Structure 1
Amino acid sequence: MCQDNQTKVSEIHLLGVQGLGNFKPLIFTVLLLFYIAIVTGNFLIILLVSTNKKLKIPMFLFLQHLAFADSLLATCIIPMMAEIIIRTKGKMSVAGCITQMYLYYIFGFVQCFILAVMSYDRYVAICNPLHYIVIMNHRICFLLGYGCWVLTWSMSSSEFILIIQFQFCGPSVIYYFFCDFGPVMQLSTSDTSIAQWLDFTYSLLSAFCALTFIIGTYIYIFVIILKISSSTARKKSFSTCSSHLLSVGAYYGSLITIYVTPSSEMSPNINKSPNVNKYSCLLYTVLTPLMNPLIYSLRNQEIKQALHKKLNNILAAK
């Protein structure tokens, strides 16, 4: 309960970046265009994999999960971000703020596990090609793909159940584009130490352990590839991994930029974190979801062919 001299907070006010002035319409328009491109690009991947029999292989089935997570992550954050920029501020109920934070973590961190599963798929395809169809059968792909969602949902839900019981009394302003964990915890007048330890543990399991698995998998993959005598075969093997490696680099590069910040650069109040952290957040929530459709559409012949076929069918129908 709030004390007598405190007022229970019913709304959270998000202020984002102040002082944008005449640049607000331009930034709003760019954000809107990026959002349309993200949703369109990822929807096309989901559609192509769902309707093209040649793409119903493990790599593209996992890519479909990744595209779905990217679309939901962008939808969860970018519309509110655009509103804050054009109106200079935004507001949400406490329950809505915590829900946004919950969804942000699910859609963001599920990608750690999906990328790890995709690296395992590449490992089996290159290091054990004769048994690939047996190992990566439809049942295993289903369990691995949806298992990533169940695991992320389970971890996030236990933390969410704890956070919704917190009291928020007094300050109600977040100097951020959306409800992230650090700024929200700063507003709570409850003891947040358990939630912070849970968040640290789950983030470690989601991001660090998944990245360690990916690195270890690719070390083994590269050792196997280097043993291949034919230069053409080596090149082909490397090319099958290139799109996934670019996705891993884009995802973890932006994630590290946001959350691995030297303490000397952090403000004493997390709510008033430097603008560089906010722009890093833009990189993670806007550019990264846009990167995967571009990476896989530009570098993958199967996706190009499926898209070309789909466009021809649409034009022929007219």
Structure 2
Amino acid sequence: MAGFKDVIGRKDLVSYIQNTIQNNQVSHAYIFNGERGAGKKMFAQLFAMTLQCEKGTTEPCNECHSCRQALSGNHPDIIRVTHEKPNTISVEDVRVQINNDIMIKPYNGKYKIYIVPDADLMTVQAQNALLKTIEEPPEYAVIILLTENAESLLPTILSRCVVLKIKNVKDTLIKKYLMEQMQIPDYQADICTAFAQGNIGRAIMLATSEHFNEIKEETIQLMKHIKEMELTDLVEAVKRLSGYKIEVSDILDLISVWYRDVLLYKATKDINGVIFSDQMKYIKERANTSSYEGIEIILKGIETAKTRLKANVNFDLVMELLLLTIKEN
């Protein structure tokens, strides 16, 4: 693992954490709030490693005994709270792994740090049990709660924690990282960045996912040739897409990006803002043969399909109706 200096974007959060450490103003309880893939675990790990680092600076050195223990996941004073039930952190989990353990002094370092992933899964009873510890913690204790929805926690928990929101990263920084650090081609970096919507973890996942590339290619081929397809071809296409039911939101988003490209080129004749820049021949053809009204109907049809699928309407029926709407407009 690198250090805070290598974090992409979010310089304000990095600066806050480093100033807190430098000025010896570390709180006993933090909430790192952000969507999945936003970097909560990374920030918690860097924060914990820096607090425990034997060099005593505002960056983990990655070389001392403490840092090596942390990197291997075996640091005795950095505890990651786990839970057996998939969607619940129980009161017993909190009592056994935090409350009953926290009074034991640190083995090596100045701090004893507890990292709680998915902390918004704590039951009310678990939160109340944790509250007692947060209200009167030992001076060496630091509890870090990682949440996707901090507002789901009890107000009494929120009021006693420093809440740090992990914001989205600018698209330009994500694209630059994908291209320079991961050697992702320009057009593919554009697509992954557009889909990530500021979430660099998701961008990296998409860029390295063979499955996503498979879905992308299937969808692109469908968009390129849908005008010439007969009804039987559309039915066959829906059968193929049904193999990606779990990722149907990605399929719909890909179709949506395709038609936003078509609309953008039709309106401006500018290729610079087009995401599917490697498919310009087909984007131009579609822009020349579709009306503004037709493209608008398609984009509305995509949103309608999303709503219907969320309401558990039959997948095949929803997708057939959408493909027919696309073909006819």
Please report the TM-score for the alignment, with normalisation by the length of structure 2. 0.23
Larger fraction in helix? 1
Q: Which one has the largest radius of gyration?
A: 2
Which structure's relative contact order is higher, taking Cα pairs within 8 Å and 6+ residues apart?
A: 1
Larger fraction in strand? 2
